[in-house]
Amino acid sequence: MRLVAKHAQVGYQTPGDRPGCRNCAHFEVVRHDSPVIAPRTACTLHDLEVTSGGICNSHKHQSPRMEAKLEFLRRQLDLLEDRSAELRGVSFGPELSAMLARQKSRPQAGECRS
């Protein structure tokens, strides 16, 4: 059996996957004094210094991948809001309106019409 399959079978989690301050939504690096000494880290919810492996009852898991996805979606939303603000009050001609209506009625990839 391959190692990856075995890991999945037993539910193996790397330290970054396990719940801990390091992947909590409230975790923050507050100071990085030296390249030799580990950075100071804190919990923004409880306002105290923490270690990356610690955990409390208020832990709110947020993986780096999820955080990156959320940041991407925030940027997309900002772009859409900016674009919609630019388009407010813009009048589309009857030809463009008809073309948009035809586009909406066209089946999309993977969509079945009955």
pLDDT tens per residue, range 87-105: 776 766 777 777 777 766 6
Contact 59, 45 (CB under 8 A): no
Say whether both 11 and 54 belong to one domain: yes
Residue 46 has pLDDT above 60, yes or no: yes
Contacts of 55 (CB under 8 A, 6+ apart): 19, 20, 21, 24
What length is written for the chain?
A: 114
Say whether both 20 and 54 belong to one domain: yes
Residue 53 lies in domain:
1-62
Torsion of CA 55, 58, 63, 64, to 10 degrees: -90
Say whether both 58 and 11 belong to one domain: yes
Residue 68 has pLDDT above 60, yes or no: yes
Say whether both 97 and 75 belong to one domain: yes
What pTM did the predictor assign? 0.45
pLDDT at 114: 54
Say whether both 56 and 71 belong to one domain: no
Separation of alpha carbons 56 and 48, rounded Å? 12
90 part of a folded domain = yes
Assign 3-class secondary structure to 6-65. Answer: HHHHHCCCCCCCCCCHHHECCEEEEECCCCCCCCEEEECCCCEECCCCCCCCCCCECCHH
Residue 63 has pLDDT above 80, yes or no: no
pLDDT at 36: 78
Q: How many domains does the chain have?
A: 2
DSSP 107: P
Token pair, residue 70, equals 């959320």
68 part of a folded domain = yes
48 part of a folded domain = yes
Say whether both 77 and 53 belong to one domain: no
Say whether both 51 and 98 belong to one domain: no
Residue 34 has pLDDT above 80, yes or no: no
Residue 51 has pLDDT above 80, yes or no: yes
